[in-house]
Structure 1
Amino acid sequence: MRKLKKLEKLLFVGLLLNMIIMLTGCAEAGGYYRSGKKYFANGNYEEAVRYFTSAIDENPNRAEYYIDYGMALIGLSRYEEAIEQFDRVIMDKKIALVLANNKRALRGKGIAYFSMLDYRESINQFEDALDLDVLSDLDMDILYYKGKALMYIGAYKQAAETYTDIVTQFGEEAQVLADRAYTYQKTGEHEKGLDDYDKAIALEANNYEYYFRKFYLLREMGRDTEANELLSQAAEIEVKTKADKFNLAKIHFYQGLFDQAFPELSESFANGFKDAYFYIGEIYTNKKDYSTAKYYYEKYIEEGGINTPEVYNQIASCLIKMEEYEQALPYLETGIGYAHNDMMRVILKNEIIVYEKLGDYEKALTKLQSYISDYPDDKEAKREETFIISRLSNISNDINNE
């Protein structure tokens, strides 16, 4: 009997110790997790990853640890790893807590694919997240990402519908209205676009970006006088910050006041606004000083650490003007890697031009036929195809006659 009581006592002490160890581990995990959240909120993703990893090591059974770990990995551009963390969370169970975790994880996967420029897969993930009738406070953010992804694949009508869903469910937000205005611009519904830009400006009268976007639309519509008046209106915004100074320099650039814009843009670059060198490059392009323009575009990439299809296309365009066709090709190929939709069309057409200039008509024809397959509405490209085929035929006849 005494032995039995002693055994029961030992079992109780063992269970108690296990509980203490488990509770200590959970407490430590919670501390690591809270620290990770703080670092994440401050944009220190490396430290956030370290603490989230420690939290998972201490307690691998908390879904939120994996979700926030995945979001921190996105902040470090480690997208594939982030997707792996989100996949660890997703479960096929109709329990409210599980569904909430699934929605957060699907949103994370959508953002990861979006950041990898895989917009179609990101749309799939966002739609799966929206199908879950939990955490409705995430819906506006998810819908906004979905709208941007649809824009990037050129699905402007669907993007407009998505932004309209946001407005209907959550009210008018300036950024949403401005993005919807852009989709209307791309579908040729210009007046609707102008109306949305006006609403965005009314909501955020000091946001230069909305003035610039409306300016582009007015110029596209051939309403140059109104476009210039809009720039003058934007120039009246009170300059309070270095960002305002940069935007004023951009206004002067668009007004064609290059001598005034140049020192302002140089100052803005020194103040950390890396885009300023791109605009200086544009000034020299306008002056037909392509060598200097190329220099500033490359400085924009090197010092700004920015890779956009626009800047690679501009460098290639400068080289084409300088008849340095072989040098232009690598820039175009790099630009294609970053491009989507409208910019892709521009770069692909420049690539075809380069092969024609190099006299490589067979390669030009192959590229052109691939382009026409993607953009069958381009009548100019079809005329160019006829010309290149004729050119190749003439070359073949010349060879046979020799």
Structure 2
Amino acid sequence: MCLLGGCKGKELTDYEKGMENLEKQNYKEALENFREAVSDGEDAAKAWRGIGISWSGQGAFDKAEEAFLTALDFTEKSEKNLRTDLSLYLVDAQYHQKEYQACIKTCDEILDEKKEKNGYFLRGSAYLHLDEYKKAEKDFSKVISGSKEYEDYLDIYRIYQECDLNADGAEYLELALEMKAKSPEDFYNRGRVYYYLSEFEKAEKELKTAWEKEYAPAAVYLGKVYVEANEPEKAKDMYQKCLKQDELKAEAYNGLAYCSMEQEDYEKALEYIQKGLEVKDREVNQALLFNEIVVYERSRDFASAKEKMQQYLAQYPADAAAVKENYFLQTR
């Protein structure tokens, strides 16, 4: 019973506040929460884990690596699940810094303890970047062994794509197509597979089926298919439909910006980018901000492009493509 003073819910700990901020992708706020949690003597391993994830979310993978190593120091050998979890985050941080040998070593330690699919995937990815193709193939074969997840095949393809080995990666996409679609999401994923294979008519057919079965994300990829097929009006129509779905708005504005950019309507493209940024979808913001730079560059406003690039690199220092683009802008 609540008397006089009224009822108050239990105040969240700093760690709990940090987890809430992580869920909202408020990485800077989460970082402060987890630092406070460490100072207050809360569970050190979990608090340092939170610090590492917060740094990763901001693209500061060197600091993330230090945090995950610190977190591991606070664990007991008996805490196998926590240690595996931390080690997988550590590998991801090492991978993003192109520390491929360290990545392989950490994966070896993970796989000695547990035959973890993500461990094989990350080790295979590191091997591929080191041109150790047979070892990469062996690890990737373990990832897809018995897998009915289209995402596993798509993830492997994207690593081959990163290494400019699209043709080799396409073999995994062909394997994915051997699975039969049973759900709207399956048709969506098959559409994505055909999209990456540049088989746009087949991609359109699968994605339309997913869309007709009310799987909303299919509209985004239909837009991409129409862009590749040089049908900008159809693409814009699909992106306009995406605007009716809150969770797709940012991607829709990004797609509309791209269409406008291709049609050399740079003012309209910037307008769409601003609308997209106002949605505050952190997962799409990076693409929007990068495309903003491209718009200024294409419209030959190199001063604005340079300024936006500096802001972008401060936010996403690990983006190799942007670093290359920045070199181009600095020589203008």
Q: In 2, Cα distance between the equivalents of 1:156 and 1:318?
A: 37
Aligned-pair distance for 1:201?
1.2
Q: In 2, Cα distance between the equivalents of 1:150 and 1:195?
A: 21
> What are the equivalent positions in structure 2 for 1:8-23 lying under 5 Å apart?
none
Please say if residues 294 and 305 of structure 2, whose CA atoms lie closer than 8 Å, have aligned partners that are also in contact. Answer: yes
Task: State the match for 2:38 in structure 1.
Answer: 90
Please say if residues 110 and 121 of structure 1, whose CA atoms lie closer than 8 Å, have aligned partners that are also in contact. Answer: yes
Task: State the match for 1:140 in structure 2.
Answer: 84
User: Are 1:180 and 2:128 matched, yes or no?
Assistant: no
Aligned-pair distance for 1:287?
1.3
Higher helix proportion: 1
Q: In 2, Cα distance between the equivalents of 1:69 and 1:239?
A: 41
Shift of the 214–109 alpha-carbon distance from structure 1 to 2, 3 Å rule, reads closer
Q: In 1, Cα distance between the equivalents of 2:200 and 2:293?
A: 32
Q: In 1, Cα distance between the equivalents of 2:321 and 2:187?
A: 44
Task: State the match for 2:219 in structure 1.
Answer: 277
Task: State the match for 1:251 in structure 2.
Answer: 193
> What are the equivalent positions in structure 2 for 1:377-392 lying under 5 Å apart?
388=332
Shift of the 156–295 alpha-carbon distance from structure 1 to 2, 3 Å rule, reads farther
**Where does the alignment leave 5 or more consecutive residues of structure 2 unmatched?**
1-6
Shift of the 121–222 alpha-carbon distance from structure 1 to 2, 3 Å rule, reads closer
Task: State the match for 2:264 in structure 1.
Answer: 323
Match of 1:291 among 194, 213, 233: 233
**TM-score, normalised to structure 2's length?**
0.69
Q: In 1, Cα distance between the equivalents of 2:99 and 2:248?
A: 26
Task: State the match for 2:154 in structure 1.
Answer: 212
Match of 1:355 among 296, 299, 304: 296
Q: In 1, Cα distance between the equivalents of 2:85 and 2:38?
A: 20
Task: State the match for 1:199 in structure 2.
Answer: 142
Match of 1:262 among 204, 208, 224: 204
Please say if residues 223 and 234 of structure 2, whose CA atoms lie closer than 8 Å, have aligned partners that are also in contact. Answer: yes
The superposition leaves residues 159-193 of structure 1 with CA deviations (integer Å, 9 ceiling, x where unpaired) of 72465255344233222322333344455555543
Q: Which has the higher contact order (CA 8 A, sep 6+)?
A: 2
The superposition leaves residues 215-242 of structure 1 with CA deviations (integer Å, 9 ceiling, x where unpaired) of 4455665563x65554343222244444
The superposition leaves residues 10-59 of structure 1 with CA deviations (integer Å, 9 ceiling, x where unpaired) of xxxxxxxxxxxxxxxxxxxxxxxxxxxxxxxxxxxxxxxxx9x83x46xx
Aligned-pair distance for 1:323?
0.6
Please say if residues 48 and 67 of structure 2, whose CA atoms lie closer than 8 Å, have aligned partners that are also in contact. Answer: yes
Q: In 2, Cα distance between the equivalents of 1:222 and 1:115?
A: 28
Aligned length: 316
Q: In 2, Cα distance between the equivalents of 1:69 and 1:376?
A: 34
**Where does the alignment leave 5 or more consecutive residues of structure 1 unmatched?**
1-50, 389-402
Shift of the 113–361 alpha-carbon distance from structure 1 to 2, 3 Å rule, reads closer
Aligned-pair distance for 1:280?
0.4
Please say if residues 38 and 47 of structure 2, whose CA atoms lie closer than 8 Å, have aligned partners that are also in contact. Answer: yes
Q: In 1, Cα distance between the equivalents of 2:159 and 2:239?
A: 25
- The 3-state SS of whatever aligns with 1:205 is coil
Q: In 2, Cα distance between the equivalents of 1:260 and 1:376?
A: 30
**TM-score, normalised to structure 1's length?**
0.59
Larger radius of gyration: 1
Aligned-pair distance for 1:352?
5.5
